[in-house]
Chain A
């Protein structure tokens, strides 16, 4: 479990995160949603220590990140996997090399064992047969999956994903979402996902934190998201034409949108 308490972060006097508190649960997919520029990436980068908050606490199962020294942060990071918005695969390494990279840096296994583990992770993300290709030779969706495989290679306790399906077609997005959700439940990972994709929100939003202009506006899960009185959240949820039409349809037919389990 990761608890964020009263987090404040500003750049050059401009406050981006205002006194933000949130809880991210273990074994659940925790979503941070919000408009572009609302501070999602800044929040995530503060969570993993790439940005230093002005004040506030970030508790990783009780361990406060801002209090940690360099070595402690580096040790904590061995428990963290992160998926970057642009995949951030190492260009000079093959797909297999990328997934094996954390293993070579942090374990003392023999090459054969590391390769076995890497191949297992690649299989887990449905990506076999591409291991000798270079990142520039595979598609964006495949790169994302390699990045997921790399992030889970060391069995992380915490997994952070910055917009895992930006730039992907809707079907591939759903595949990636399901993959993240499955991994989270299978291994009991604390997964935090940044997204502004309503498909993800409705598909895997077990714990949703809505951020608006750096303020935490709303917390809940996917079943509650339609019927909130929060105007900013409503504007966000029903921003796409499709959702507007669904809302009109629902209103005119006097039904409700079924939650995920009923599908």
Chain B
């Protein structure tokens, strides 16, 4: 039972994506909407990303120091471990889980409201491919802007760690900075960026899907928004495992 319904949902998702990924009716309109979405979904998320990153960066540094507090391990390991955690997992998976809450619920409720107030029908009636018109700019806009968020996240998390080094006596600043640069693997950055692109796609497409197929009223829009966030989170975690296996091993 649950298998058939999931398969049916997945089938509908694929059909929906086929409508989304068709040639826009008007390139000018599409580009303008993409810029709007970059501002709305991407730029407006910057404050949240900065706040979270600076605190988590500081916390990771403190916890690493407590965990590997041993005379046998060199002090710079704290910086190194902080860096790798941030690059490998925090700046992409965890960040996207958080953004799934913000961006996903925003998208699902916006599109869901348009559905229940017949605005989507109005688009269809005019002869516009509503899925393409509404959803494609969101997907491309957010996917395009995701690397910026990731880089900002990495940078601010390191600054958070630096704050700990500078304002506490847990670890000397020079050791922290040395650790940040020691034994650097460039691939980790690419790995994180690739993951984040996939997650950005998951968040926008899943949330749009749930919003687009709302039936009913305000109550259902709320439910669609929750469903969108929950399923995109699950898919993010699932693809985290798959991509890690594929890209790191």
Residues of A that sit less than 8 Å from B by CB: 48, 50, 73-78, 80, 82, 84-86, 88-91, 101-102, 104-106
Contact = CB atoms under 8 A, between A and B. Distances in A.
B117 A50 contact: no
A86 B29 contact: no
Residue among A85, A86, A88, A89 with the highest chain B CB neighbour number at 10 A: A88
A82 B122 contact: yes
A74 B117 contact: no
B29 A50 contact: no
B125 A48 contact: yes
Interface residues of B, number: 16
Contacts of A82: 122, 125
A242 to B, nearest CB: 31
A80 B123 CA distance: 12
6 contacts: A73-B127, A77-B127, A86-B117, A90-B122, A91-B113, A102-B126
A105 B122 CA distance: 13
B25 A105 contact: yes
Contacts of B119: 88-91
B121 interface: yes
B207 to A, nearest CB: 17
B26 A80 contact: no
B126 A78 contact: yes
B44 interface: no
Contacts, number: 49
Given A104-B26, A104-B29, A105-B29, A77 B121 contact: no
Contacts of B124: 50, 77
A51 B26 CA distance: 26
B29 A84 contact: no
Contacts of B26: 104-105
A237 B110 CA distance: 41
Interface in B7-28: 25-26
A77 B118 CA distance: 16
A80 B125 contact: yes
A104 B113 CA distance: 23
A88 B118 contact: yes
Contacts of A48: 125
Closest 9 CB pairs of A and B: A77-B127, A88-B118, A88-B122, A74-B127, A84-B118, A82-B125, A78-B127, A88-B119, A102-B126
B128 interface: yes
A61 B113 CA distance: 35
A90 B119 CA distance: 6
A78 B113 CA distance: 25
A149 to B, nearest CB: 13
A104 B27 CA distance: 11
Given A88-B119, A101-B126, A104-B26, 14 more contacts: A48-B125, A50-B124, A50-B125, A77-B126, A80-B125, A82-B122, A84-B118, A86-B118, A89-B119, A90-B119, A91-B113, A102-B126, A105-B25, A105-B29
Interface string B42-65: 000000000000000000000000
Interface string B118-138: 110110111111000000000
Contacts of A84: 118, 121-122
Contacts of A50: 121, 124-125
Nearest to A70: B129
A73 B121 CA distance: 14
B127 A75 contact: yes
Contact of A105 (B117, B125, B126): B126
Nearest to B120: A88
B128 A105 contact: yes
A77 B114 CA distance: 20
Contacts of A76: 127
Contacts of A91: 113-114, 117, 119
A60 to B, nearest CB: 13
Nearest to B25: A105
A102 B133 CA distance: 13
